[in-house]
Structure 1
């Protein structure tokens, strides 16, 4: 790998700023910042950038492109990192996702969940998964509808090689802090509804660079941050 410490100092500084934002948001909400997992969204950034973040203490990384991620996972195999697949899931990519990742955040239909379960290698622990919910009702956005969620969650929870952990959402962008909170609140309420049905869920994957404070205020346990750590994404 190429790249000096100076080349990647902006990544270390970005991580420090994001951690400080999470700590401040948690304090404002009366929460323990240690209960909020930071996933550094490294998609389109090179393995050297991931290594620089890992050197700064970051362990969880989010990727959206299977082939690109595989190269980074192999290059950094000795680092004991946790890899999260956070992009839309194509049926022809499920075998590689099931074999290479620890977490999948974007399950939105039972066909994909069944393929991930069937293709998860027996030598690995169950794949940790979140169901993506389209809380903003956007026609172009992935995710199951809130109305379809209970049936999907119960079906996913029964699959043998998956462990359903919770819910994920990517709400429509919004600049108003109070308006940002509404879809996150809705996702939290949906999680609480599933718990009331007997599902043992503990994860709300929500919040990105521009709205992590609103997400933490509404109970996020995972925030997915890219630009604020790595800078603008290079073109693939």
Structure 2
């Protein structure tokens, strides 16, 4: 129901405000990305009507279809799922953020495609903070090379890092704190690589279950689906 989505966003904003207050942070530092995977575009329109601006998708085809179905200049579109080089060409015309960069070759492809239409695309480098083989992301030792490559690009902006924590039950959520802490430490250790188009201000970490801990550990972007749109339709 539309009113459920609006109420859910309101409650999430309250959770963010409470978590920021307890962490001594300003809630305005946090960007809420509503991940609408498997949900109809009508749900995106409803959320937008409730003041939500940032929307994320896990799959390139679904992102492309929703951007085509709902051309809205105010919306910021985020690609938050696994990236494939051959899918980048389908999103560069409208996507604003790509969170899942794990290799320089993705930056190279974005630069090539975006330069043809004179767009600049914000990107985040994904780090594998959980240590799980099935999770995407580069190893921390590979970040230096990616950032050095990014410094020479004109149509790509590296804005920070992204990480996906280990999935745990709500009562065990404290277990993921070291993973979020590690991502912030990796970001801090690489700030010497900042340049005109590499600014490591953003930390995309935290989802429905663990967002409070992510905020305490420095998150600036939360990727939330279920708490806004309900359970996914698989």
**TM-score w.r.t. structure 2 length?**
0.93
Secondary structure of 2:179's aligned partner: helix
Q: Which residue of 2 aligns with 1:186?
A: 182
Secondary structure of 1:22's partner? Answer: helix
Q: Secondary structure at the match of 1:219?
A: coil
1:196 equivalent in alignment to 2:195: no
Instruction: Tell me what 2:219 maps to.
Output: 220
Q: Aligned residue for 2:109?
A: 115
Residue 10 in structure 1 maps to residue 29 in structure 2: no
Partner SS state of residue 178, structure 2:
helix
RMSD, aligned α-carbons:
1.4
**TM-aligned CA deviation for residue 99 of structure 1:** 2.1
1:74 is displaced (CA, Å) by 2.3
Deviates more, 1:167-176 or 1:64-73: 64-73
Alignment of 1:100 with 2:99, yes or no, is no
Query: Does the aligned pair in 1 maintain the 2:161–2:187 contact within 8 Å?
Result: yes
The CA distance in 1 between the partners of 2:105 and 2:117, in whole Å, is 23
Q: What is the deviation of 1:121?
A: 4.7
Which segments of 5 or more consecutive residues in structure 2 lack a partner in the other structure? none
- Counterpart mapping for 1:46-57 below 5 A: 46-57=40-51
Contact 1:184 1:218 in 2 (8 A): yes
Is it true that 1:65 corresponds to 2:64 in the alignment?
Answer: no
For residues 126 and 18 of structure 1, the distance between their equivalents in structure 2, rounded to whole angstroms, comes to 30
Any conservation in 2 of the 1:97–1:116 contact (CA below 8 Å)?
no
**Per-residue deviation, 1:190:** 0.6
Q: Give distance in 1, aligned partners of 2:189 and 2:107.
A: 21
Q: Which residue of 1 aligns with 2:74?
A: 80
Residue-by-residue CA offset, 1:112-151 (whole Å, 9 max, x unaligned): 1100111115444410000000011111111000111111
Question: How far, CA to CA, are the matches of 2:151 and 2:124 in structure 1?
Answer: 10
CA shift, 1:196, in A, is 3.3
Structure 1: distance between partners of 2:178 and 2:83 = 26
Q: Deviations over 1:90-115 (max 9, x none)?
A: 11101112223000000001111100
Question: Once the 2 structures are TM-superposed, how far is the Cα of residue 70 of structure 1 from its aligned partner?
Answer: 2.1
Q: Does 1:42 align with 2:41?
A: no
Distance 2:174 2:118 in 1: 42
Size of the aligned set, in residue pairs, is 229
State how far apart, in whole Å, the 2-side matches of 1:227 and 1:178 are: 20
Work out the CA distance in 2 between the residues paired with 1:37 and 1:224: 9
In the other structure, the counterpart of 1:3 is none
Residue number in structure 2 paired with 1:233: 232
Instruction: Supply the distance in 1 between the matched residues of 2:63 and 2:144 (Cα, whole angstroms).
Output: 31
